[in-house]
């Protein structure tokens, strides 16, 4: 973390020069008379593509809704999305293309912890807002990252919700973990160990897999020896589904609990009949609860954008990021700048999006985003629950 912060401080020094040059020209990158251009670097193809695609769908649905009402101070919101394959090196390349070639005003809807760690120093160096990353990594909550606008709960908060349920509701003591062997997985691992330690417990077993693979056999062999009552999972939908099906084929039926980043709808689709009873934590409202105004608005916006798209946790998160961005720009006024957007976001710190309160920056420390649990039903749908 120290080396990461050192890189950020160096990047901020470069930022001052970039801001001075822009001020001299009297222009803001990505802003024209009739449009504001945003960029997204995310997995749009490959084994994690559902995550990037659905984040994009939600953002575009929000932008389409805003544009239909005249945009923001007469400007339409536009999005360019580039595929990074959920790979840090590719994400650096695509992020630089968005900033230097496409000349976007801000980045929005990035997917993943390792990709964010690789690209945030780049965005900080250019004072480019980094809005709504689809990651619960702890470093994204660091107030020393002034250009990051995080709206979701941390993986530590999700881990606490899992362990609370498994130990207090289910009275389990033998809990294993299956996690992606990178910064994302290790962040989840740390959260689980911390939540268990609070209760005087330790992990019964752990197994890992490599990002963008479905090679989970060795992880299952490691974990099954402990005969865990529950297995918490920190990965994307493909390998997590493969692991659960492998366990079932082996005759084992522990309780499975998945992180929100898994892509809940994609996981349920991959699992089919093996999905019944699998738990997934969530950090956005229930996308089918139309009694919530924000959900009704989201569904209407998504239908207007593409009537074939079903409601989904990930696209709802993208929609919320898009709506928050629009709300901040509206408050900023008719002459948007990157620095101004970040100032407004952090000064306000609390946004009411159709009755759903989103807190960011220092406000999120005092009033952290919520986490709740869902369980996959026999027919592949989800049930939201407070206590299982």
Residue, of 17 and 28, whose pLDDT is higher:
28
Instruction: List Cα–Cα distances, 132 to 141, 320, 353, in angstroms.
Output: 12, 8, 14
Return the minimum-mean-pLDDT range out of 17-21, 24-28, 285-289.
17-21
Bridge partners, 373 (sequence order): 281, 385
The confidence score (pLDDT) of residue 27 equals 79
pLDDT of residue 61 exceeding 60, the answer is yes
337 phi and psi angles, rounded to 5 deg: -130, 160
Bridge partners, 111 (sequence order): 134
298-318: pLDDT as tens digits: 999 999 999 999 999 999 999
Same fold, 35-153+288-354 and 155-282+372-384: yes
Residue, of 4 and 37, whose pLDDT is higher:
37
326 phi and psi angles, rounded to 5 deg: -65, -40
pLDDT of residue 294 exceeding 90, the answer is yes
The whole-angstrom separation of Cα 300 and Cα 318 is 15
Return the minimum-mean-pLDDT range out of 14-28, 29-43, 48-62, 165-179.
14-28
E-assigned strands of the chain? 35-42, 76-83, 106-108, 130-131, 148-149, 175-180, 205-209, 230-234, 255-258, 279-282, 350-353, 356-359, 372-376, 382-385
CB atoms within 10 A of CB 40: 29
Instruction: List Cα–Cα distances, 40 to 8, 48, 229, 327, 334, in angstroms.
Output: 21, 15, 40, 19, 24
The confidence score (pLDDT) of residue 106 equals 98
Report, as an integer, the average pLDDT of 286-300.
97
Report, as an integer, the average pLDDT of 308-334.
98
184-222: pLDDT as tens digits: 999 999 999 999 999 999 999 999 999 999 999 999 999
The confidence score (pLDDT) of residue 12 equals 47
pLDDT of residue 3 exceeding 70, the answer is no
pLDDT of residue 378 exceeding 60, the answer is yes
pLDDT band (50, 70, 90) for residue 126:
very high
Q: Are 232 and 162 in contact (CB under 8 A)?
A: yes
Report, as an integer, the average pLDDT of 88-114.
98
pLDDT of residue 149 exceeding 50, the answer is yes
| Tokens of residue 229, six digits | 């009552």
CA dihedral over 4, 284, 237, 373, signed as positive or negative = positive
Bridge partners, 347 (sequence order): none
The confidence score (pLDDT) of residue 387 equals 53
Instruction: List Cα–Cα distances, 35 to 73, 82, 321, 329, 336, in angstroms.
Output: 10, 19, 18, 12, 11
pLDDT of residue 356 exceeding 80, the answer is yes
339 Cβ partners below 8 Å, 6+ apart? 19, 127
pLDDT band (50, 70, 90) for residue 7:
low
Considering the segment(s) 35-153+288-354 as one domain, its CATH architecture is 3-Layer(aba) Sandwich (3.40)
pLDDT of residue 321 exceeding 60, the answer is yes
54 Cβ partners below 8 Å, 6+ apart? 263, 265, 312, 314, 315, 318
Q: Which residue has 């074939």 as its token pair?
A: 308
pLDDT band (50, 70, 90) for residue 242:
very high
pLDDT of residue 329 exceeding 90, the answer is yes
Please state the domain extents for the chain: 35-153+288-354, 155-282+372-384
| Tokens of residue 24, six digits | 């001299």
Report, as an integer, the average pLDDT of 248-262.
98
DSSP code at position 287: T
Burial class, 263, CB count within 10 angstroms (exposed 0-12 / middle 13-18 / buried 19+): buried
The confidence score (pLDDT) of residue 366 equals 85
Report, as an integer, the average pLDDT of 16-30.
56
pLDDT band (50, 70, 90) for residue 16:
very low
The confidence score (pLDDT) of residue 14 equals 44
pLDDT mean across residues, the chain: 93
pTM summary value: 0.92
337-354: pLDDT as tens digits: 999 999 999 999 999 999
Q: Are 320 and 356 in contact (CB under 8 A)?
A: yes
For the chain, what percent of residues have pLDDT higher than 90?
Answer: 88
Q: Are 151 and 358 in contact (CB under 8 A)?
A: yes
CATH fit for domain 155-282+372-384, picks 1.10.3720.10, 3.40.50.2300, 3.40.50.720, 3.20.19.10: 3.40.50.2300
The whole-angstrom separation of Cα 325 and Cα 320 is 8
> Which of 26, 21, 56 is CA-nearest to residue 126?
21
Bridge partners, 107 (sequence order): 39, 130
The whole-angstrom separation of Cα 319 and Cα 323 is 6
pLDDT band (50, 70, 90) for residue 18:
very low
């Amino acid at each position: 973390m120290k080396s990461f912060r050192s890189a950020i401080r160096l990047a901020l020094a470069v930022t001052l020069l970039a801001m001075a040059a822009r001020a001299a020209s009297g222009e803001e990158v990505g802003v024209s008379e009739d449009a504001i251009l945003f960029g997204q670097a995310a997995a749009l193809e490959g084994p994690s593509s559902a995550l990037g695609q659905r984040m994009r769908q939600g953002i575009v649905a929000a932008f389409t809704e805003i544009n239909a009402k005249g945009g923001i101070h007469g400007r339409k919101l536009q999005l360019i999305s580039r595929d990074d394959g959920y790979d840090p090196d590719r994400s650096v390349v695509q992020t630089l293309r968005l900033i230097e070639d496409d000349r976007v005003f801000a980045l929005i809807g990035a997917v993943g912890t390792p990709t964010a760690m690789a690209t945030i120093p780049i965005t900080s160096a250019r004072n480019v807002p980094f809005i709504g990353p689809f990651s619960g990594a702890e470093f994204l909550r660091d107030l020393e990252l002034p250009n990051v606008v995080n709206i979701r709960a941390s993986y530590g908060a999700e881990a606490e919700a899992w362990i609370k349920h498994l130990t207090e509701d289910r009275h389990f003591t033998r809990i294993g973990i299956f996690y992606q062997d990178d910064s994302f997985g290790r962040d989840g691992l740390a959260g689980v160990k911390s939540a268990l330690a609070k209760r005087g417990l330790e992990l019964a077993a752990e197994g890992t897999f490599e990002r963008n693979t479905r090679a989970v056999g060795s992880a299952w062999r490691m974990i099954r020896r402990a005969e865990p009552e529950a297995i918490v999972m920190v990965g994307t939908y493909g390998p997590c589904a493969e692991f659960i099906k492998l366990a079932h084929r082996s005759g084992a039926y522990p309780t499975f609990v998945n992180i929100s980043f898994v892509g809940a709808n994609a996981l349920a689709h991959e699992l089919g009949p093996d999905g019944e009873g699998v738990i997934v934590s969530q950090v956005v409202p229930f996308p089918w609860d139309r009694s919530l105004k924000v959900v009704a608005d989201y569904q209407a916006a998504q239908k207007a954008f593409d009537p074939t798209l079903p409601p989904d946790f990930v696209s709802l998160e993208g929609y919320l990021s898009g709506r928050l961005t629009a709300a901040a720009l509206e408050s900023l006024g008719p002459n948007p700048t990157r620095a101004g957007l970040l100032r407004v976001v952090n000064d306000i710190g609390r946004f009411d999006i159709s009755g759903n309160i989103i807190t960011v920056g220092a406000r999120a420390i005092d009033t952290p985003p919520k986490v709740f649990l869902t369980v996959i039903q026999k027919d592949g749908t989800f049930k939201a629950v407070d206590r299982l």
